[in-house]
Amino acid sequence: MTVERRGWRIRALKLWLPLGFFMIFNLFPFYWMAVTSLKPNSELYSRKIMPLVVYHPTLEHFVKLLTETDFITWTYNTMLVAVVSTAISLVFGVMLAYPLARMKFPGAALISFAVAATYLVPQPLLFIPLADIINKLGLGDTLTSVILTYPTLLVPFCAWLLMGYFKSVPHELEDAARIDGATRLQTMFRIFLPLCIPGFISAGIFAFTLAQNEFLYALIFLTKTDVRTVPVGAIAELVRGDVFYWGQLMAAALLGSIPVAIIYSFFVEHYVAGLTSGGVKA
Amino acid sequence: MSAHSQAIGSRVLRPRPAFSLRRWTEREGVFSWLMVIPPALFLVALVGYPFVYGIWLSLENRPVAKPGVFVGLANFITDLHDPVFWQVAQNTFVYTFAATALKMAGGLALALVMNQDFKFRNLVRAIMLLPFIVPTVLSTIAWMWILDPSFSVVNWFLVHWGIANPGPSWLGNPNLAMFSLIMVNTWRGLPFYAITLLAGLQTISPELYEAATIDGASTFARFRYITAPLLKPVIFIVTMFSVIFTFSDFQLVYVLTRGGPANATHLFATYAFDVAMSGGQFGLGASIALSMLPPLALLIAGMAWYMRGEKT
């Protein structure tokens, strides 16, 4: 019995205490976002009352955000850009990953090295020349500018992740289809790709969250309110000079995070599989 | 019977066309290249070309919206004489090392904690990843409010518990501002470390630990001689990612401090942005951005070399 009690204490010390600490550290900003967005300004800007709870919750900030700013347009833009650039990236990702993972061809090593290198090129290295190129192409302040540039961040990642997945699929089914006279394209579309749907979900979810997260290109290419994405809109338009509209900022941060969080919650396992495949399998 | 064999014979003897497009595209090498070329061209056009163009820009004196003049290495020489540039370099190294070390230590700790059996482990893992999936700018806005000079919730508690009055200015004091940035970067990157290392821990066979325990190895010895060596490749990959993306970080600094106070938190990326976008000097900005490349390449090469040395 003493052993059991000691075991309980050790478990609390080794598991629940550190876990609790990390949980609070990780989640506090989200709690703070939610609480702040519900507070009336009188509570928001008071140094007297306990800040962790809301005494008179109000939806005033949400109403103002949705009616007085272009938040809905920003959300629409963000979603559109994320969905289209994810789709492009998946198609290009398959076109790179399928030959690299399943076939032998001269130059394969060079291509896979180039894909890995592109993956590691940090964005700040490219934003100045890209800004110039986008301007010269007359694409400034269009969603096309970001739809074109986001896949440069997502394609190498999708290709890498899909290559790992493709390599794990056995060859027998494809061989059988080839012997039965299917062309390579037919084999790929009818036999191979349907087997890889989990891989597509992993890569797609990951690319989608990356596209939602992107800020630098959007900040530079999109300077008009009707083409902005949520992060850029919030930073550029809810902070006017030195005035921060904290209630609306927090409401925007919360509403902007919810779509990603919902999609993520449906596909957590796929997301984690994608996240860890890079590090663990490589 | 003879008619039958004749039919087969005539089919075999039918002359094959010298060239068939369909047969050509069915060849493994041709099919592969036809697939690879479109995405490869796309990446060359929007990554390769801008990269080379950026090098070209860095050799020009190029005010915004005006034709550039070739000036050779003059921009880089300007950088080397710019005290802010050196401060930026120092800031970037401090930021990268401190944040990566914290993420590694914290991530490893969290991974070890979560590698125990407990109820709702998958749910906890899903929740732990939230800081990593939520758009960085949006969560950083929340941090900006947590660290606000007048209404910081941290300071409310410091004052309330009588620890400090008034509370420190988290983003206004140069050292504290850097500290705050490192904390926020750690907050965001730690889950990635933890979840990846957790996946690495779960690939280690429990039999190794059992055998070590039977041989009388202590908890620390088991960590030192089983967990650490087997986890090393995973730690290496994760650290490489972390170093690259921390070194070239932009969003956190842009949202929280814009490089201030007095350039104390400017990193290469934000300084290049300031010079190129706000200052309108594309050439000089490009040279600052390019200056990230050699130290970054050295860091990665050094890590790769270290890993290689360990193996042999």
Tell me the chain A residues in contact with residue B156 when contact means C-beta distances shorter than 8 Å: 47, 51
Sign of CA pseudo-dihedral B281, B286, B289, B290: negative
Q: Residue A6's pLDDT is what?
A: 66
**Residue B97: how many CB atoms within 10 A of its CB?**
15
Q: Which two tokens stand for residue A91?
A: 């198609």
Beta strands in chain A (DSSP E): 239-240, 243-244
pLDDT, tens digit (0-9, with 9 covering 90-100), for A30-39: 999 999 999 9
Give the pLDDT band (50/70/90) at residue A4.
low
The pLDDT score that the predictor gives to residue B69 is 82
Dihedral, CA of residue B19, residue B23, residue B28 and residue B31, to nearest 10: 90
Q: What is the ipTM of this complex?
A: 0.89
Query: Which residues, 6 or more positions from A225, have their beta carbon under 8 angstroms from its beta carbon?
Result: A70, A73, A233, A237
Q: What is the dihedral sign for C-alpha B188, B190, B196, B202?
A: negative
What's the rounded mean pLDDT across residues A4-8? 67
Coil, strand or helix: which one is A243?
Answer: strand
Task: Measure A140 CA to nearest chain B CA, in Å.
Answer: 13
Report the amino acid identity of residue B211.
A
DSSP element (H, E) containing A90: helix A71-102
Kindly state the tokens that stand for A126: 């490219």
Q: Which string of DSSP letters, residue by residue, matches A22-44?
A: HHHHHHHHHHHHHHHHHS-HHHH
Q: What is the mean pLDDT of each run of 10 residues along chain B (312 residues)?
A: 49 65 84 93 94 92 80 88 93 95 94 87 87 92 90 86 83 92 95 90 88 89 89 87 91 90 92 90 92 89 74 44
pLDDT at residue number A282 = 41
Kindly tell me if the per-residue pLDDT of A51 is higher than 50: yes
Residue A3 predicted with pLDDT over 80: no
Supply the pLDDT for residue A15: 84
Tell me which residue in B141, B190, B233 faces A249 most closely, judged by beta carbons: B141
A128-166 residue pLDDT tens: 999 989 988 999 899 999 999 999 999 998 998 899 889
Residue A70: closest CA among A209, A248, A257: A248
Q: How far apart are CA A218 and CA A201, in angstroms?
A: 25
Are residues B269 and A124 in contact, defined by beta-carbon separation less than 8 angstroms?
A: yes
Q: Are B135 and A212 a contacting pair at CB < 8 A?
A: yes
Length in residues, chain A: 282
With contact defined as beta carbons under 8 Å apart, do B186 and B106 qualify?
yes
Encode pLDDT of A67-86 as tens digits: 888 999 999 999 999 999 99
3-state secondary structure of A239: strand
Interface test with A, best of B129, B134, B270, B299 (most A CBs within 10 A): B134
CA distance A15 to B109: 11
What's the start-to-end Cα distance of chain B, in Å? 71
Determine phi and psi for B161, rounding to 5 degrees: -85, 5
The verdict on B171 touching A (C-beta cutoff 8 Å) is no
Which chain A residues are Cβ-neighbours of B233 within 8 angstroms? 282
| A97 compared with B149, residue with greater pLDDT | A97
pLDDT for the residue A281: 47
- pLDDT at residue A2, as a whole number: 46
Cβ density class A195-219: b for 16+ within 10 Å, e for less: ebeebbbbbbbbbbbbbbbbbbbbb
pLDDT of residue A121: 86
pTM beyond 0.90, yes or no: no
**Is pLDDT at A41 greater than 60 in this prediction?**
yes
- B145 with A250: Cβ contact below 8 A: yes
What integer pLDDT is reported at residue B302 of this predicted model? 83
What is the distance between the alpha carbons of residues A281 and B114, in angstroms, rounded to a whole number? Answer: 20
Please tell me the predicted confidence (pLDDT) of residue B177: 94
Distance CA(A31)–CA(A24), nearest Å, equals 9
What is the per-residue pLDDT for B1? 44
Query: What was the pLDDT predicted at B233?
Result: 84
Q: What is the DSSP string of chain B?
A: -HHHHHHHHHHHHSPPPS--HHHHHHSHHHHHHHHHHHHHHHHIIIIIHHHHHHHHHHTEE-BTTS--EE-TTHHHHHHHT-HHHHHHHHHHHHHHHHHHHHHHHHHHHHHHHHTS--TTHHHHHHHHTHHHHS-HHHHHHHHHHHT-TTT-HHHHHHHHTTS-SSPP-TTTSHHHHHHHHHHHHHHHHHHHHHHHHHHHHHTS-HHHHHHHHHTT--HHHHIIIIIHHHHHHHHHHHHHHHHHHHHT--HHHHHHTTT-STTTT--HHHHHHIIIIIS-BHHHHHHHHHTTHHHHHHHHHHHHHHHHHHH-
Q: Which residue of B has its CA nearest to A133?
A: B50
**Contact at CB, A257 and B293, closer than 8 angstroms:** no
Decide if B203 and A132 are in contact by the 8 Å CB cutoff: no
Single out the residue of B135, B145, B146 nearest to residue B188, CA to CA: B135
Of A208, A215, A225, A223, the closest CA to residue B136 belongs to: A215
Nearest to B289 among A23, A125, A230 (CB): A125
